Homo-oligomer: A and B are copies of this chain.
Amino acid sequence: MPANHNFSKLARQPAYRAVSEKIRQVILSGELQAGDMLPTELELADQFGVTRSTLREAIRLLEDSGIIGRTDRKRLVVTLPQTATIGRSVSSAMLMHRVTFEELWQVAMGLEPLAGKLACASATADDKQRLAANLQLTATVLDDHKRLLEAEIEFHNLVASATHNYALLQARAPLNDLFYPAWGAVIRALSPGQRILVAHQKVFDAICNNQPKEAERWMEKHMIDFRRGIEMGNLGFHQPVTSAANSDPQN
């Protein structure tokens, strides 16, 4: 009987992965900052001692994370990842895991009231103005299901943005892609426009008057309304959400 020592399976990584890791590392270390231009593919390939094909594969790995991109269809440039870019990966993962509306709702219950609360302290005049504009818009599209949903999503984005907390923005990104779009069915079924507007108005007032508790409370009410809407409409609160937003422009 052999001695029972298990060697850990040694994992050599292919060159394209090593290259991508190295670039990522240099960027994260701050040695390269957002906006910095990278050399051409050929020169980069030379520096790493690989072919352009291999280098391009490495680039793709980073491209999806949104930490590098192309300027005007040419040079490679280090970019600050956009919430939406990352969000898409996260949303894909959630779709594959068949995340239910309930699960998303629970997260929303944790983050949206928090966003409302934090926004009170950090919202700028600009933020408030954008919120005001959104409210005005909402009032005019109460019966236009499609545009009402858009306004609804924008409102919650504006509140989250007003916190100026990127970690929070990132954490709630999947709500944009999966939670609110799924709620479109409720809007079509129950036409709760008026009720939405009131909640938004209350949150907005609380933010303007710097009343964190109020903002939190109304956002929470609003979220509970969401849940009730889904349940009343019998729209699958415990079902996996689907990617209604998965419209591909081309082809």
Q: What is the interface of chain A, defined by CB distance below 8 A to chain B?
A: 13, 16, 18, 21-22, 24-25, 27-28, 34, 53, 56-58, 60-67, 80-81, 86, 89-90, 92-97, 99, 103-104, 106-107, 109-111, 114, 118, 163, 165-168, 170-172, 174, 243, 246, 248, 250-251
Contacts and interface: CB of A to CB of B under 8 A. Distances in A.
A78 to B, nearest CB: 9
A61 B63 CA distance: 7
Given A22-B251, A25-B246, 5 more contacts: A28-B95, A89-B89, A90-B170, A103-B166, A106-B168
A34 B163 CA distance: 37
Given A168-B103, A170-B94, A251 B80 contact: no
Contact of A67 (B57, B92, B166, B170): B92
Given A28-B243, A106-B118, A109-B114, A93 B170 contact: yes
Contact of A171 (B56, B86, B174): B174
Given A86-B90, A106-B114, A174 B170 contact: yes
Nearest to A83: B93
Q: Considering residues A21, A89, A109, A243, which has the most beta carbons from chain B within 10 angstroms of its beta carbon? A: A89
A65 B56 CA distance: 17
Nearest to A111: B110
Contacts of A92: 24, 28, 65, 67, 81
23 contacts: A22-B251, A34-B96, A56-B57, A61-B64, A64-B65, A64-B89, A81-B93, A86-B89, A93-B170, A94-B166, A94-B167, A94-B170, A97-B166, A103-B167, A106-B118, A106-B167, A107-B111, A107-B114, A107-B165, A109-B114, A110-B168, A111-B171, A171-B172
Contact of A97 (B62, B80, B110): B80
Given A86-B89, A171-B174, A103 B246 contact: no
Contacts of A96: 27-28, 34, 67, 80-81
